[in-house]
Amino acid sequence: MGSYLSNTKKQQEEMLKEAGYDGFDALFSHIPQEVMMKGELNIPSGCSEMEVMGKMEKMASSNRVFPHIFRGAGAYNHYIPAIVKSVTSKEDFVTAYTPYQAEISQGNLQSIFEFQTMICELTGMDCANASVYDGASAAAESIFMCKERKRVKALVSATAHPQVIETMKTYCYGRDTELVVVPEKDGATDLEALASLADETTACFYLQQPNYYGILEDAAQCGRIVHEKGGKFVMGCNPISLAVLQTPAECGADVAVGEGQPLGLPLAFGGPYLGFMAATKAMMRKLPGRIVGETVDSEGRRGFVLTLQAREQHIRREKAGSNICSNQALCAMTASVYLSAMGAEGLKQAAVSCMSKAHYLQDALAEAGLKPVYERTYFHEFLTESPVDTGVLGDYLESRGYLGGLPVDGNRILWCVTEMNTKAEMDELVRLVKEVCAG
């Protein structure tokens, strides 16, 4: 971080003199003496770089890193090209934060503009914001984009990620908004229940695609049902799957949200992650956060500016619909570099690889004794029934270096496969499962 070292004592003295002060005591003379610190702070002496590295490595050794991962449920183990970390590790990007001053933030603004553009290309939507904290926050924020004076009820499918539903409940609790969970039927949203629950008070319906069980929902039909009642349709998306599935725009969504972690962000013990939000042009002014736009300066040169931030509390505090402030600049930059490195064809290859390998593993696990719970179309996650205790099976796999699927509701297991999983390790996983089931 050579370019970001602190200023020298001489420079500090020059700044104080320019500001009209003789020293730091004069600069802080307005602070009452009784609250001023006297003497030195009781802080232990610092460690050397070698000592700090030793302490950090000891702490890190408490984590267990599995060489073979077959678990997803919202956080996915994808291959990250080396160029992603190489680019985003540059100190110009690592230190980037909020681009308040456009004339000195052109690089940061352009990176956000590129991120927004790519999210629009993925989702098919007209506009995207500068990112929010994570996918669950984005899903919860979407409710208040859709809420109106007489439309105060939000619907969410029971097949959405449980943590997303819990986050929505937390947001709605503090905003006097009713949240109704639409029941599932055979692993997918119950369309008849959706039709009966949607009414003139419905602000929106949130559907996850693929859903928590990995199943592909009839998103277009869900959108038609909620639109017939005058509500908005919100889709939560896995961004990798959008390389091969219908886009939210093609399904009639008004808002598309999702977790951007699969786009070049490592698992990293749960964060920091990246929420994305995109919407139709009609919903543009309801987007929380910021929208960066492209323009030209007085001399006709290309430039970037903060075009819209209509809902933020520091702009219209009493009318603000959101308190989102951060643009997750570094995570958004990472997603942009990842998408640029992969390209449209590379992203499609990753998605196809995930899907084909998942189907191979499901068939192999069925022969080993883990039967599929649902015979439905899915992307790269699927649910199986286990004839043995899921805890026993999971412990056995972990002892062999395999992080198995996520136990769900008793004897069911949610498995996930990505392009990272080879045929050899899938075959070994199946062999280990057979040992336990036969056992």
pLDDT per residue over 74-110, tens digit each?
999 999 999 999 999 887 777 766 677 777 788 888 8
Look at residue 318 and tell me whether its pLDDT is greater than 80.
Answer: no
Look at residue 238 and tell me whether its pLDDT is greater than 60.
Answer: yes
5 — pLDDT class (breaks 50, 70, 90): low
pTM here? 0.88
Amino acid code (one letter) for 30: H
Report percent pLDDT > 70 for the chain: 95
Look at residue 1 and tell me whether its pLDDT is greater than 60.
Answer: no
Look at residue 9 and tell me whether its pLDDT is greater than 90.
Answer: no
- The C-alpha atoms of residue 179 and residue 166 are separated, in whole angstroms, by 10
DSSP symbol at 249: T
Amino acid 275: pLDDT? 93
Per residue in 127-143, pLDDT tens? 998 878 899 999 999 99
Look at residue 6 and tell me whether its pLDDT is greater than 80.
Answer: no
Q: Which of the following CATH numbers is that of domain 344-438: 3.40.605.10, 3.40.50.970, 3.90.1150.10, 3.40.50.11810?
A: 3.90.1150.10
The CA distances from residue 285 to 78, 288, 321, 384, 415, in Å, are 34, 8, 11, 43, 39
H/E segment holding residue 424: helix 423-438
Look at residue 290 and tell me whether its pLDDT is greater than 90.
Answer: no
- The C-alpha atoms of residue 242 and residue 260 are separated, in whole angstroms, by 12
Amino acid 175: pLDDT? 86
**Of residues 325, 161, 177, 329, the one with CA closest to residue 236:** 161
* pLDDT, mean of residues 329-342: 93
Amino acid 96: pLDDT? 67
B/e letters for 206-233, b = 16+ CB within 10 Å, e = fewer, are: bbbbbbbbbbbbebeebbebbeebebbb
272 — pLDDT class (breaks 50, 70, 90): confident
Handedness of CA 129, 132, 134, 136 (dihedral sign): negative
H/E segment holding residue 426: helix 423-438
* pLDDT, mean of residues 188-197: 97
- The C-alpha atoms of residue 81 and residue 361 are separated, in whole angstroms, by 25
Q: What is the average pLDDT score of the chain?
A: 91
Helix, strand or coil, per DSSP, at residue 438: helix
Region of 230 on the Ramachandran plot (φ > 0 left; ψ -120 to 50 alpha; else beta): left
Look at residue 200 and tell me whether its pLDDT is greater than 50.
Answer: yes
H helices present in 329-422, as ranges: 329-368, 390-399
Which position has the higher pLDDT, 323 or 370?
370
Domain-by-domain residue ranges, the chain?
Answer: 82-338, 344-438
Amino acid 310: pLDDT? 58
Q: Which of the following CATH numbers is that of domain 82-338: 3.20.20.140, 3.40.50.11540, 3.40.640.10, 3.30.1330.10?
A: 3.40.640.10
- The C-alpha atoms of residue 150 and residue 203 are separated, in whole angstroms, by 8
Lowest mean per-residue pLDDT among 125-134, 224-233, 310-319, 329-338:
310-319
Look at residue 426 and tell me whether its pLDDT is greater than 90.
Answer: yes
Per residue in 250-269, pLDDT tens? 999 999 999 999 999 999 87
Amino acid 254: pLDDT? 97
Cis peptide before 210 (omega within 30 of 0): yes
Amino acid 91: pLDDT? 79
Contacts of 128 (CB under 8 A, 6+ apart): 115, 116, 117, 119, 120, 276, 277, 278, 279, 287, 291
